[in-house]
A and B are shown apart, each in its own frame.
Chain A
Amino acid sequence: EDQVTQSPEALRLQEGESSSLNCSYTVSGLRGLFWYRQDPGKGPEFLFTLYSAGEEKEKERLKATLTKKESFLHITAPKPEDSATYLCAVQALNDYKLSFGAGTTVTVRA
């Protein structure tokens, strides 16, 4: 059974205060690890896909990295509009469904 654990559950940041979110995973062969952003009442919005250890992807103030056991989402100098729940999901080699973590809810105060 694929397992995805995200920490912390919630993160309150001051505008400009950089931080990192953690996603630990256990999967029988990783096809890909995905990061999504979800705003209240909306569907998850795709951010990044990472396929192999050592890979990094960047988009504006967000940077995702991947090791063999975990992934990090770094938020650099966050703004209030970065407030959202960030979901991590894995896709195993033996199927195509996404197994999600419980998410980290980030609140950025101006």
Chain B
Amino acid sequence: KAGVTQTPRYLIKTRGQQVTLSCSPISGHRSVSWYQQTPGQGLQFLFEYFSETQRNKGNFPGRFSGRQFSNSRSEMNVSTLELGDSALYLCASSLEATGSGANVLTFGAGSRLTVL
């Protein structure tokens, strides 16, 4: 079966612009999480969506936002880009089991954003 698909894989933006990244989860997976990966900070949790509702949010400014559609596909948006937003943005999906913390995350290959 198809894995988690993230588009675009690479993109270059300039400061002040905005960007939208897309994530298509594994078929049947209803939970989608987003992470920012940078060499110095490791993996930082952005937010998680389940059935179109944001369940958890990390410590990022309001410039970072996301949404999930009825087919579980998710998008994240970063407005007013800053140089420090340059990173690999990873999306992960999981098969949600109510009350279980044992879900395995399946990651996409990521979208590498460079802000000039």
Is B truly associated with A? no
